[in-house]
Homo-oligomer: A and B are copies of this chain.
């Protein structure tokens, strides 16, 4: 018997195209990293932040922070504003509510550490 053969006859769930969830899952996957969430928390709290101030706050190397910022920028989650030698990142308006909600609910997940 081959995979495609249907088994139970409970209910007919119509064909689902997994591929169409590629975009949103890549976006959500980006949010599923504690370092990136921590960066987002700081940016959310202060409105914007540059890598050089995130570096001592998070206690991780600058390239690590820059790489995470870049990924979030690439997918449209962050905006970038360059001033003098600094590059400030802020949350894109379209995702501000989402990030707010996440930060609000963050504490309810702390017990799972």
Contact = CB atoms under 8 A, between A and B. Distances in A.
A23 B56 contact: no
A91 to B, nearest CB: 15
Interface residues of A, number: 61
A18 B35 contact: yes
Copies in the complex: 2
26 contacts: A3-B59, A4-B56, A5-B56, A7-B56, A8-B52, A8-B53, A11-B46, A13-B53, A15-B59, A16-B41, A18-B35, A19-B113, A21-B34, A24-B102, A24-B105, A24-B106, A24-B109, A25-B32, A25-B36, A26-B32, A26-B112, A27-B32, A28-B28, A28-B32, A29-B29, A30-B32
